[in-house]
Structure 1
Amino acid sequence: MTTTADPSIALARTRRHWWWHYEVPTLLLAAALYAAWAALLWWHAALPGWALFLAGGFLAQLHFSLQHESIHAMRHLPKWLRHAVVWPPLNLWLPYPFYNRGHSSHHVNFHLTHPERDNESAYHSAPAWAGYGPVWRWIYMANQTIAFRVVLGPFLRLWKLVRFETAQVLSGNFSRLPTWLWHALSVAPVLYYVTVVCGMGFGEYLLYFVYPGMMLGSLRTFTEHRWADTPHERVAIVESNLVFGLLYLFNNLHHVHHRAPTMPWYEIPVYFRRHRAAVLAANGNFYYRGYGEIVRRHLFRPVFTPVHPTW
């Protein structure tokens, strides 16, 4: 990664108790997450659907946030342990190794928002846009609104994944198949617990856990990045409440994360409060006061035209 960390951050983190050195709060959070997930499934029949939808989606997205944490932080743990902590595929659909490799390239400054080199970019190159038909242009433009991105965006994301993986196989590239095999083997015990031990149907798990988790993930990433001349001005700050902060492990304060990717999640809000003015100056005041503001401004209005201005 070429993201440059603030030197004051590195200096402040040289003096650590073992509790912080080994990021024990993250390990405890992971243990609490798996316990809550298991308990929610065990007693799912006693809860109304709306409660399952909210709680299941929260836990599914929190697990995805932990996977993101393991990519960047927990550096004093062995790599195998760092990955094992978040390996169980509670969200079912995305193999962790693919997310790990793809997201790492996202943090290269030059690649940020690039429609081809940044696989998390919502932009399209001008030549690609010119080649789309009117239906796909409408879909990609609608995907720049909260209403579409949160409700239908998960299906668009799955379609892009299936299209990409199918293209790899049809082109003769079978190198990704072993990862998919390991992923299937990892999914099996998760679904065994869900369907056999707890008696929840597969479709119910998709509805009450996987889909709302993807919806919440779509909300977080909706306007994290925009094109700007300097990399730091491409990264947003969404100053939200504690519920969303925990849900996203404070990755909503996204500019801080890009400045210091290895900073543990529980240090991010502390750093932001202490250096608020400098952070907002560095990112060109690319700032939202919570997700409510984003919804009000972009429920049906595109956040930006998804044609990259320079590529």
Structure 2
Amino acid sequence: MRKIVRSTPSSLRHRTRGLGVEWPTVTLLIFCYGLWGLAGYVVYPQFPLVAVLLMGIAVALHSSLQHEVLHGHPTRNARVNEALIFAPLGVFYPYRSYKRTHLQHHADERLTDPFDDPESYYRSWNSWQSMPLAFKRLLALNNTLIGRMLLGPPLMVVGFTLAEWRRIVTGDRKVRLAWVLHLVGLIPTLMVVSQVFGIPIWLYVGVSAYLGISIISIRSYCEHQWAEKPDGRTIIVENSLLAPLFLYNNLHLVHHKLPTVPWYKLPSHYRARPVEWQQMNEGYVFANYMEIFKAFAFKAKEPVVHPVWRRDDHLTANDLLPTQEPHHGVSHSSFSLAVSDLPA
């Protein structure tokens, strides 16, 4: 079997030659902002419900584009890339905080670790044991797909915000700057929503921004599961009408193994050797998201408690894994709301 490897530093250096603008991504950015603006300015006066729903789709697409940008697209200039997604249509998450935690998530040896993977939905046994019963039931509901779509947004936002403010209080200047920049973009964005579009801010936040996170949670719901082999922890969803909205991150294993490949090339990488990819992730494959919905709409796919990483002191299988950078994220003591710090 041919070996599929990650992009290497030398390949990254090769990508920096020339201007290297990825025009499909630039075009999609224009479409995203155009859809958002058209829905708010043109559609809302006549069809307000349709407008806020369309804006929710734009928020989901913008979130996918933020993910693309943090991986070094569509140009080779990080500041230009950040400027392209600077307006926080999704309201809740500072881009730089998302970038920091998501790149930490890409340490595949730590995938699903409730301590060192900021996007893990698993909890340690000790943390679980200390939770009140009501919160245990809430997390159990959150592990169904319907629960993740309905309960996931507030759980993620509250948990993430608490974690970020803890870092700010302890003097983390990078996190503080991330929030300052976020507010610099958020204030004019909400002014456009309320003053130009005439949409109440509560309606935009409560419907459009909420819907955007909810849509993205369909993708992130079962992106990762525990497996002894790191490659077996990441899903492949072969076909879906939602794939373009997710920028083909339904082929999530392909993205994790080739994180610098632009979104529009992921399908061709998968189609070139699907059997090899499926062998690599030990058959963690679904045909589409409807198959996932039918199986797990009202049934938890995974337990809340991590099958291996059970103790807060890491004196478990965690010690058998290669040493990574120290974990600087939210503490999972007591009953913290940090179900997952950020959307994937």
Give the alignment's TM-score, normalised by structure 2: 0.82
Matching residue of 1:189? 188
Structure 1 pair 245/47, CA: closer, same or farther in 2 (3 Å)? farther
Q: Which residue of 1 is the match for residue 201 of structure 2?
A: 202
2:124, 2:207 → 1: CA distance?
A: 36
Q: Name whichever of 177-186 and 99-108 sits farther off.
A: 177-186
Partner-residue secondary structure (3-state), 2:44: helix
Residues 236 and 20 of structure 1, relative CA distance in 2, 3 Å threshold: farther
Tell me how large the CA RMSD over aligned residues is: 2.7
- Contact 1:105/1:118 (CA < 8 Å) preserved in 2? yes
Q: Indicate the residue corresponding to 1:167 in structure 2.
A: 166
Aligned counterpart for 1:304 among listed residues 299, 302, 307: 302
Contact preservation (8 Å) 2:235, 2:252: yes
1:266 and 2:227 matched = no
Measure how far apart 1:218 and its partner are: 1.1
Give, in whole Å, the separation in 1 of the partners of 2:244 and 2:285.
19
2:19–2:76 CA contact under 8 A, matched in 1:
no
Q: Do the aligned residues in 2 keep the contact of 1:250 with 1:269 (CA within 8 Å)?
A: yes
SS class of match (1:215): helix
Is 1:9–1:260's contact at 8 Å kept on the other side of the alignment?
A: no
The number of equivalent residue pairs is 306
- After superposition, the Cα gap between the structure-2 partners of 1:10 and 1:116, relative to the gap in structure 1 and judged at 3 Å, is closer
Contact 2:44 2:50 in 1 (8 A): no
Q: 1:39 to 1:282 in 2, by over 3 A?
A: same
Give yes or no for contact 1:105–1:111 (8 Å, CA) kept in 2: no
Flag the 1:255–1:92 CA change in 2: closer, same or farther, 3 A: same
Give me the whole-angstrom Cα distance separating, in 1, the residues matched to 2:11 and 2:83.
Answer: 28
1:248 is aligned to 246
Q: Following the alignment from structure 2 to structure 1, what is the Cα–Cα distance between the partners of residues 8 and 171?
A: 46
Structure with more helix by fraction: 1
What's the offset of the Cα at 1:15? Answer: 10
Q: Is the 8 A contact 2:248 2:266 kept in 1?
A: yes
Match of 1:180 in 2: 179
Long gaps (5+) in structure 1 = none
- Equivalent residue for 1:223? 222
Question: For structure 1, which segment, 53-62 or 20-29, has the greater mean C-alpha deviation from structure 2 after superposition?
Answer: 20-29
Supply the distance in 2 between the matched residues of 1:236 and 1:251 (Cα, whole angstroms).
10
The match for 2:61 is: 62
Alignment-derived partner of residue 231 in structure 2: 232
Alignment of 1:72 onto 2:71: yes
Hey, what does 2:27 align to over in structure 1?
Answer: 28
Question: Corresponding residue for 2:276?
Answer: 278
* Cα distance change, pair 170–77 in 1 and its aligned pair in 2 (3 A): closer
Residue 101 of structure 2 corresponds to residue 130 of structure 1 = no
Deviations along 1:110-153, one digit per CA (max 9) or x if unpaired, are: 22111011010011111111211211211111111011110111
CA offsets per residue over residues 29-79 of structure 1, 9 Å max, x none? Answer: 111211221111101334545533442221101000000001114275211
8 Å Cα contact 2:44/2:52 also seen in 1:
no
> Structure 2: which 5+ runs fail to align?
310-344
State the AA in 2 paired with 1:6. Answer: V
- Amino acid paired to 2:227: A
Q: Using the TM superposition, name which of 142-151 and 99-108 deviates more.
A: 142-151
Give distance in 2, aligned partners of 1:68 and 1:56. Answer: 18
Which residue is equivalent to 2:341? Answer: none
Contact preservation (8 Å) 2:23, 2:74: no
Distance, in Å, in 2 between the alignment partners of 1:20 and 1:268 is: 22
Distance 1:278 1:13, change over 3 A: farther
2-structure distance, mates of 1:198, 1:222: 33
Q: Is the CA contact 1:251–1:265 (under 8 Å) kept in the aligned structure 2?
A: yes
CA distance in 1, matches of 2:306, 2:205: 34
Query: How far 1:193 sits from its partner (Å)?
Result: 1.1
Per the normalisation by structure 1, the TM-score is 0.90
Quickly say closer, same or farther: Cα 1:36–1:20, change in 2 above 3 A.
farther
Q: CA deviation at 1:163?
A: 2.4
Amino acid at match of 1:181: V
Question: Would you say the 8 A contact 1:73–1:263 is kept in 2?
Answer: no
Superposed counterparts of 1:135-146, under 5 Å: 135-146=134-145
